[in-house]
């Protein structure tokens, strides 16, 4: 089984690039299943049901979220209509939406779950390890892919080593910067952060001039999403169909033509 995971979709630029390219990426990497983190897809924060529908229509099988899951208030009333949308298990309020989904693909049950980290993040309802343990009591699947959303590379590595025998892959999201530490940990695929799909000429997908004037001159900023050609980041996880363990993880980074 080959699973394509695309990292945090940021605003219109990233969203349109993913929608435009998802099928060709799927073909290029021979992916059977596609997961997209889209917690920043709606103008840089949150998601709406219509964006969810466009991403799934384009080829995403499951959409994951993060600390901005509920930043667009309209999603709260629409979330039950988005059957393959996954919110972090330990993000308040915990009663809205679902913390994992199980989808069938070529006879395999694939669970996709989302967990928030603790370090440098907003308060969580339950620590990541306890939240994952609770999900594992419920999940019945052949493969379990976790979107681990947080700042700290060390926290993500520690979590993965703890759960390496129970999970197929732990894919870090949130920082928007792809790390070069993809590896297998005893049959569990891991990367600290898969990176973003958003404007290449930006600071983490935001307008660079605005962020700089905030940093240098202390001017107020709205963190306006940047425009322009998009960077597309992700990874491909391959699993063994007999053991259901990960056998490889490949980092994907597509820069725009003529990128610096
Ligand atoms: Fe985030």
193 CA to centre of ligand 1 in angstroms: 11
Residues 6 or more apart whose CB falls under 8 angstroms from that of 127 comprise 90, 118
DSSP-based three-state secondary structure for 228: coil
Answer for the pair 111, 170: CB distance below 8 angstroms, yes or no.
no
pLDDT of residue 221: 82
Torsional sign, CA 116, 119, 125, 129: positive
Domain boundaries, the chain: 2-254
| Residue 222 predicted with pLDDT over 90 | no
How many Cα atoms occupy the beta-carbon half-sphere of 100 within 13 Å? Answer: 24
How confident is residue 64, by pLDDT bands cut at 50, 70 and 90? very high
For tokens 């989904």, the residue is 101
The closest alpha carbon to 60, from 16, 88, 23, belongs to 23
Output the pLDDT for position 260.
77
End-to-end CA distance of the chain: 35
CATH class, 2-254 region: alpha beta
How would you classify residue 226: left for phi > 0, otherwise alpha for psi between -120 and 50, otherwise beta? beta
Going from the Cα of 84 to the center of ligand 1, the distance in angstroms, rounded, reads 19
How many angstroms is it from 175 CA to the middle of ligand 1? 7
Ligand 1 midpoint to CA 243 (Å): 32
Global pTM reads 0.97
Strands (E), 55-107: 62-64, 85-86, 100-105
- For 193-216, write each residue's pLDDT tens digit: 999 999 999 999 999 999 999 999
Q: What are phi and psi of 217, to 5 degrees?
A: -105, 0
The alpha carbon torsion through 21, 22, 24, 27 (nearest 10 deg) reads 170
Measured in angstroms, how far is the CA atom of residue 182 from the centroid of ligand 1?
20
Q: How far is the CA of 204 from the centre of ligand 1 (A)?
A: 11
pLDDT, residue 59, reads 98
Q: What percentage of the chain carries pLDDT values higher than 90?
A: 96
68 carries an active-site annotation: yes
Say how many Å lie between the CA of residue 105 and the centre of ligand 1. 28
Catalytic residue among 68, 149, 174, 176: 68
CA–CA dist 193, 182 (Å, integer): 9
Residue 240 C-alpha to ligand 1 middle, in angstroms? 31
Average pLDDT over residues 11-34: 97
> 129 vs 114, 133, 160, CA distance in Å?
12, 6, 10
């Amino acid at each position: 089984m080959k699973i394509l995971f695309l990292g945090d979709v940021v605003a219109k630029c990233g969203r349109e690039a993913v929608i435009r390219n998802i099928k060709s990426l799927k073909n290029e990497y021979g992916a059977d299943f596609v997961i997209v983190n889209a917690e920043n897809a709606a103008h840089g924060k949150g998601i709406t049901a219509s964006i969810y529908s466009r991403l799934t229509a384009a080829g995403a099988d499951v959409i994951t979220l993060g600390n901005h899951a509920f930043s667009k208030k309209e999603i709260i009333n629409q979330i039950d209509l988005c059957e393959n949308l996954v919110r972090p298990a330990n993000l308040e309020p915990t009663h809205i939406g679902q913390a994992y989904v199980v989808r069938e693909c070529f006879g395999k049950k694939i669970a996709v779950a989302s967990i928030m980290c603790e370090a440098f993040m907003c308060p969580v309802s339950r620590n990541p390890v306890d939240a994952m343990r609770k999900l594992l009591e419920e999940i019945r699947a052949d493969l379990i892919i976790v979107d681990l959303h947080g700042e700290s590379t060390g926290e993500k590595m520690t979590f993965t080593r703890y759960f390496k025998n129970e999970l197929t892959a732990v894919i870090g999201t949130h920082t928007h910067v792809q790390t070069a530490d993809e590896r297998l940990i005893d049959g569990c695929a891991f990367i600290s952060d898969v990176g973003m799909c958003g404007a290449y000429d930006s600071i983490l997908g935001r307008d660079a001039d605005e962020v700089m004037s905030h940093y240098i001159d202390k001017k107020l900023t709205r963190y306006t999403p940047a425009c322009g050609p998009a960077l597309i980041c992700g990874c491909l996880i391959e699993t063994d169909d007999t053991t259901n363990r990960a056998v490889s993880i490949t980092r994907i980074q597509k820069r725009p033509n003529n990128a610096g």
